[in-house]
Amino acid sequence: MATDRTHLTSQEREKSSVFHSWSAQSTLNPLMVAHASGVYVTAEDGTQYLDFSSQLVNTNIGHQHPAVVAAIQEQAATLCTIAPQHGYASRYRAAELILDHSFEGAAKVFFTNGGTEAVEHAVRMARLHTGRHKVLAQYRSYHGATSTSINLTGDPRRWPNDDATAGIVHFFGPFLYRSHFHATTEAEERDRALENLEATIAFEGPSTIAAIILETVPGTAGIMVPPAGFLAGVREICDRYGIVYIADEVMAGFGRTGEWFAYQAHGVTPDLVTFAKGVNSGYVPLGGVVINEAIAATFNDRVYPGGLTYSGHPLACAAAVATIEAFEQESIVENAKRIGDEVLRPGLLALAETHRVIGEVRGLGVFFALELVSDRATKEPLAPYGSSSPAMNEIIAAARAEKLLLFTNFNRIHVVPPCTITDEEARDGLARLDRALAVAAPHYRGS
């Protein structure tokens, strides 16, 4: 029986009818959005917010890019949907463009609806290709929220979903600021992390391990750029033991780090690459796996036991084609790199001089994190691992008052605007962030 809801506000209707992810439903206070454009989001009450979050770090090309919107409209007028066993131009063109910007030896693209499905299928391919079952993943990582991908994830969201039967083994990766290896330099951190990884493989049994999956630059877990040589060391270990190297580029790919794919800055060639988010800025859900020649050949005469009704959906692929072409024509990847080097990094380091609550600034491109602490000497986080705190809540509220949308996680602020952001817009965001961080001063206890 239909219920009359016309007397409710739009937010009340949202809260009463929609079940939100990663949330306690009774505490929700969603921003009710009317429209968005470029790096700005406008609420239903007309308030305009500067989007320093790229939503979930996915609107790499900004909101409502006219070429992408037009491509979706044109595709919708021609072919809205078709079963994936058929071929169609928008899908093969999207695959061609992705392969053109991938590694040498990249052979094919398998399309999914998002990043978590991409990870699920990459792991399935690796297991079938090697005939092995175990997969190694880092602590301080996020790989998705479906069965295998949430077990691969190395943060507290895994805990309620992990029954220890998924064949996943976690290990510590390099993170000098909070080193697990008591390292004092990036080189020490790299070498000790690689030694630890190799020891883990030895004790787990190399012949049992199908794959190692790494976010090239871990995103939600803290934007820890790996030290020089670490990924090359992982590649060498994988080659030595016949292990598939999966690069998770769901968040780091498509311009976010100032490269087409983040692994390209490290001179390594993965076997499989998962992608989503920035491939079409989330205008229509899309993800996928870039597959090398050897693994693709495994399924030349052997049925791949997996698929999705909407694999390579025409509207999503048309959006990807238009997005990648805009990246090429408008030098968006180059802009992301320049903004990081010339505006965000120096601007954030300047904020660290002003606000002692900033323990570390790290990142590249339009992919930065501020590690917030209550004491720089002890590095005590401003919120405990896996949770928030009154201090963090005050900062988030102050940012909202400054009309600034932030991506936050535990004790960190992630500065992750669209790759299309201008110098002026980036400096405006930094100024708003500067004012918001002022509320944290009373929570700093160090000298």
Q: CATH number, domain at 412?
A: 3.90.1150.10
Strands 48-51 and 404-405: parallel
**427 and 292 within one domain:** no
Residues 182 and 292 placed together within one structural domain of the fold: yes
Structure tokens at 227: 């030290």
Distance CA 147, CA 158 (A): 10
Residue 39: Cβ within 10 Å count: 23
Beta-ladder partners of 370: 361, 413
Sign of CA dihedral 405, 410, 415, 418: negative
Q: Is residue 5 a part of any domain in this protein?
A: no
Distance CA(187)–CA(205), nearest Å, equals 27
- String of b and e for 65-80 (b: at least 16 CB within 10 Å)? beebeebbeebeeeee
In a shared domain, residues 153 and 54: no
- Residue 30 near residue 20, CB atoms below 8 Å: yes
Q: Is residue 238 in some structural domain?
A: yes
Tell me whether strands 134-138 and 168-171 are parallel, antiparallel or unpaired: parallel
182/85 same-domain check: yes
Q: Report how far apart the first and last C-alpha atoms of the chain are (Å, whole number).
A: 63
**Residue for token pair 């001179």:** 267
Question: Domain with 216 in it: what CATH number?
Answer: 3.40.640.10
Q: Which pLDDT score, from 0 to 100, does residue 165 have?
A: 81
Residues 321 and 277 reside in one and the same domain: yes
- The segments of the chain whose pLDDT lies below 50 read none
Statement to judge: residues 217 and 347 lie in one domain: no
Tens digits of per-residue pLDDT, 312-356? 999 999 999 999 999 999 999 999 999 999 999 999 999 999 999
Burial 126-153 (b: 16+ CB within 10 A, else e): bbbbbebebbbbbbbbbbbbeebbbbbb
Which tokens in the block code for residue 28?
């929700």
Q: Are residues 30 and 75 in the same domain?
A: no
- Residue 4 covered by a domain: no
> What confidence score (pLDDT) does residue 79 get?
98
Q: Count CB atoms within 10 A of the CB of residue 88.
A: 16
How many domains in the chain?
Answer: 2
Tokens of 435: 């004012």
pLDDT reported for residue 194: 98
Residue 2 lies in a domain: no
Tokens found for residue 257: 């780090």
pLDDT of residue 55: 97
Buried/exposed 301-316: b ≥16 CB within 10 Å, e otherwise:
eeeeeeeeebbbbbbb
* Residue where a domain terminates, one of 329, 359, 377: 329
Tell me if 267 is assigned to some domain: yes
Strand, coil or helix: 15: helix
Report d(CA 383, CA 365) in Å as an integer.
26
> Is 380 part of any domain?
yes
pLDDT value of residue 159: 87
Does a structural domain hold residue 3? no
Q: How many CB atoms lie within 10 A of CB 241?
A: 15
Residues 83-133: tens digit of each pLDDT: 999 999 999 999 999 999 999 999 999 999 999 999 999 999 999 999 999
- What number of residues does the chain have? 447
Taking the C-alpha atoms of residue 95 and residue 293, their distance in angstroms, rounded to an integer, is 15
Residue 413, strand partner residues: 370, 408
Same domain, 415 and 354: yes
Q: Is residue 206 located within the same domain as residue 309?
A: yes
**pLDDT number for residue 214:** 98
Q: In terms of C-beta density within 10 A (0-12 exposed, 13-18 middle, 19 or more buried), how is residue 298 classed?
A: middle
1 domain residue, yes or no: no
Burial zone of 46 (CB within 10 Å; 0-12 exposed, 13-18 middle, 19+ buried): exposed
Domain boundary among 294, 329, 364: 329
Structure tokens at 70: 């037009």
**Do residue 161 and residue 20 come from a single domain?**
no
| Residue 247 DSSP label | E
- Do 295 and 272 form a contact (C-beta atoms < 8 A)? yes
Which of 306, 329, 352 corresponds to the end of one domain? 329
Phi, psi (rounded to 5 degrees) for 186: -60, -40
pTM (2 d.p.):
0.96
Same domain as 372, residue 256 = no
Full domain range(s) for residue 104: 67-329
Task: Determine the Cα–Cα distance for residues 207 and 210; give it in Å rounded to an integer.
Answer: 8
Q: Are residues 139 and 237 in the same domain?
A: yes
Both tokens assigned to 71: 């491509």
